[in-house]
Structure 1
Amino acid sequence: MADRTFEKRRIAETDLEITTLGLGGATLAGIFKPTDEMESRATITRALEEGITYFDTAPQYGYGRSEHMMGNALRGKRSGTVLSTKVGRLLRPIASEADRQYPHNWVDPLPFEQVYDYTYDAIMRSFEDSQQRLGLDKIDILYVHDIGVMTHGEEENARLWGQLADSGYRALRELRESGVIGAIGLGVNEWEVLMDAFALGDWDVFLLAGRYTLLEQTSLNPFLSTCIERKASVVCGGPFNGGALMGAGVWNYAKAPQHIIDRVKALEAFCAERKVSLGAAALQFPLAHPAVCNVLPGPRTVSELEGILEWWHEKIPAEFWAELASSGLVAEGTPLPGGVVAE
């Protein structure tokens, strides 16, 4: 067991408490690049050994592969951990890749296709299906996955949002109120739909990927400020903006536009001049916001996890954040570590 420790934060007003660093299960299922199953399981095990207690997965990740893998790695080791998965996609079996309806970025996914369905019955079925794939009797958090215009377009999203509003949200509330799960929320890549969710009802936690990072603070207002008012927590997924902050030239699952590339270069130069790792700054940045309870990267291997841990525990001088606050590289009003606020 490593001697490095992690701060823990409570999720909203629930009984769930998690380490501020978590482990995301998408890359482990082979998004964009192939993964080795034994290496993926070893990565989850290493995270446990290091003291990480929050793990996230979803039916969509590898079309069942991530949930199978996560369950196999966590089975018998759930004490003190918090596990989240997602609803909104059912999986139906297919005979071949030619039977797929939707394009995807998974390498060697399991032989299933996604079916979008946010109704009461579908959410209840999705929850039970996930329990079976995980091989676990307890799931702590359920997120409504990828609802929003970015994924579905205006017209189709209106139809699917109607499903969630008419009956799906009721299913989530029933599961939470019965104590079957501990928290409910949405897991998305766009903050705007989360404002619609606030109008629908009360939520405990949102997993927002890529919209509150060192590179991008578009969700600062009104979303994060509303989270404070409504006592909802935020898990910051995609802290490297899908690889953009690591120089991959990718942003929002596509080629990064020039203004993003330029912004990354400016942040790289700022960090290099002060001898601070850009990865460390990116990981430690979100936690200064009082709504944020967790940062959720997705390492592909044990080696990548080790790199993340080194960045996580890197000591960044208070002067770095003070200078960043007046640099113009982050949005005005952004809280930064050390108690400073961007000008």
Structure 2
Amino acid sequence: MSQYTKRTLKDEIFFNKINAAKKISLGTFPFKDLKEIQIFKIMERYLSSGRTFIDTAAFYGDRRVERILGRVLKDFNCECFIATKVGYFRKKEEYQDQNYIYDQVQYSQELIGQKINLLQIHEADWDIWWLCDNGSLSYQNMFNKAPVIKALTKIKQNNDTDYIGITGNNADKLANIAHNLNCIDSVLLAKQYDLLWRNGRGKLRNVIEQKNLFYIVGAPFHQGRLLNLDSLISENSHFDKEMAEEVEKLKSLIIKHGLNLIKTCLEFLLTDPLVDLILVGIKEENELWWLDYKLKHIPDEIYKELLSIGFIRNATKGIPYKIN
């Protein structure tokens, strides 16, 4: 690589910091409900596999997860590739306060005890991040003048982070933001790209390809909803028949080819060459089965069948959150 060539997050992940060729890494959202000893055992098993990419957020357990991860990483004396998120503030004005945002990131780094390699805007698809002084939404180059961008850019200039990313559950909004921002390296999309929800294969995918952004997909099982197709069919058979029909098609395809649904959820995303990383949230140590199992790309014929089904829908609702 030429010294004059801009190093991208893809270069760093694939060739230097971590073994991400396997493309599956640890998401820590479920850690908020676990005891510290449970988290310790999961982390011990995960780190012993040679993987070092860890995704977390200040919001998870109101910083409890960041705090525990800091202690665990200190015990293991392991330098990891840390990706965390800033956001989920309680007051509207805090989203427009550059100094407040900066201080929140510094606190995350203090708790984790390591450099934050990838610093992400949590729920960047929330309009509250991008309001102008008059309360209207930003547009085009105005996105780059938002307080959160100023804060994160300053942090990067101070060498307190290597990369900047955005996250969210609205693929089209993220596409618009990613298109307009000049400073980001990655996009993390959750509950919008999986075996059924296909929003992440549209406009956002095109922007990611055009700008050579690192594409991270979270919640590959749609927080467990994909693992009970009969329940999805029943839920939607009356008020969203089209969705129910697509779920029926997926169920028939799984049966027809004798596929394992859980493995297919991951292998479907692994087969997409543009998806760089898949984050799997873990509640129990035995859910790390994918560390040892050799997941494969889906054969072309079956992959085409899978691509022929699915729908464009909003992500299912997450945890209720009130901003004052």
CA RMSD of aligned residues (A): 3.4
| Post-superposition CA distance 1:97-144 (Å, at most 9, x none) | xxxx7xxxxxxxxxxx9995253212211111112222x131111100
Q: What is the deviation of 1:265?
A: 4.3
Alpha-carbon distance between aligned partners in 1 of 2:194 and 2:277, rounded to the nearest angstrom? 12
Answer 1 or 2: higher relative contact order, Cα 8 Å, separation at least 6.
2
Distance 1:58 1:114 in 2: 19
Matched, 1:329 2:309: yes
Corresponding residue SS for 2:165: strand
- Partner residue, 1:182: 162
Please say if residues 267 and 298 of structure 2, whose CA atoms lie closer than 8 Å, have aligned partners that are also in contact: no
Q: Which residue of 2 aligns with 1:29?
A: 32
Conserved 8 A contact 2:144-2:181: no
Q: Which residue of 1 aligns with 2:266?
A: 283
TM-score between both structures, scaled by the size of structure 2: 0.76
Secondary structure at the counterpart of residue 194 of structure 2: coil
Cα distance 1:315–1:171, how it changes in 2: closer, same or farther (>3 A)? closer
Is the 2:29–2:56 Cα contact (8 Å) retained in structure 1?
yes
Instruction: Rate the CA distance shift 1:81–1:120 in 2: closer, same or farther, 3 A.
Output: same
Unmatched segments (≥5 aa) in structure 1 = 1-9, 91-100, 102-112, 332-343
1:1-343 paired onto structure 2 within 5 Å: 11-12=9-10, 14=12, 17=18, 19=20, 20-30=23-33, 35-75=34-74, 77=76, 79=78, 81-90=80-89, 117-134=95-112, 136-149=113-126, 165-194=145-174, 195-247=176-228, 260=243, 262-306=245-289, 308-309=290-291, 313-315=294-296, 318=299, 321-326=300-305, 328-330=308-310
Q: Could you tell me how far 1:283 is from its partner in structure 2?
A: 0.8
Question: In 2 relative to 1, CA 159–148 (structure 1 residues): closer, same or farther, beyond 3 Å?
Answer: farther
* Higher strand residue share: 1
**Which residue pairs with 1:97 in the alignment?**
none
Indicate if the aligned counterparts of 2:79 and 2:114 stay in contact, CA closer than 8 A: no
What is the rounded CA distance, in whole Å, between the counterparts of 1:63 and 1:213 in structure 2?
28
**How far does residue 181 in structure 1 lie from its aligned partner after superposition?**
0.9
CA contact (8 A) 1:324 1:330 kept: no
**Contact 2:84-2:120 at 8 Å conserved across structures:** yes
Residue-pair matches, total:
288
Distance 1:49 1:115 in 2: 43
Amino acid at match of 2:9: I
TM norm structure 1: 0.72
More helix by share: 2
Please tell me the residue identity of whatever aligns with 2:154: E
CA–CA distance in structure 2, aligned partners of residues 117 and 210 of structure 1: 24
Per-residue CA deviation, residues 231-277 of structure 1 (Å, 9 max, x unaligned), is: 111110010112111118899xxx77755555444323322332221
Give the percent of matched residue pairs that are identical in Structure 1 and Structure 2: 22
